Amino acid sequence: MLIKALRIGLGQIIIFLDFITRPRKLKRSPQEQAQVESAAAGLALYQFRACPFCVKTRRTLHRLNVPMTLRDAKNDDAHRQELLEQGGKVQVPCLRIEDQGQVRWLYESKAIGAYLNERFAAQ
């Protein structure tokens, strides 16, 4: 019980620190932002809210100004099951990439960050 309380407390601290130190969003023209939103429509991030690696990934999304569907794989059994059955394992963060009818699952915050930076960073 004490461990669970510590875990919850640390999770809340992580979320609070993320909130107060969040990076600025990348500024784009309305046309460029519409293109980013269209490109991000096939992406979904499976995550746990207080996971430090998920926070890192969400910070990258925020900095790059990429709106994305966030799926809670901890508290939503349907999303957890989808991650297990289609992605192969319950590991977060996991980016579901759907492109031209093909679905790919990308694990590891570092790999996800590299993919997002390559695809959405200002040129």
For 7-57, what is each residue's pLDDT tens digit? 888 888 888 988 899 899 999 999 999 999 999 999 999 999 999 999 999
Quote the pLDDT of residue 7: 83
Q: Look at the alpha carbons of 82, 87, 88, 90 in this order and tell me if their dihedral is positive or negative.
A: negative
73 in Cβ contact with 92 (< 8 Å): yes
Q: Which of these, 46, 43, 40, lies nearest to 85 by C-alpha position?
A: 46
If you search the block for the tokens 């407390």, which residue do you land on?
9
Position 79 pLDDT exceeds 90: yes
Quote the pLDDT of residue 40: 94
67 in Cβ contact with 37 (< 8 Å): yes
- Residue type for 108, please? E
pTM: 0.88
- For the chain, domains (ranges, CATH) are 2-25+34-120 (3.40.30.10)
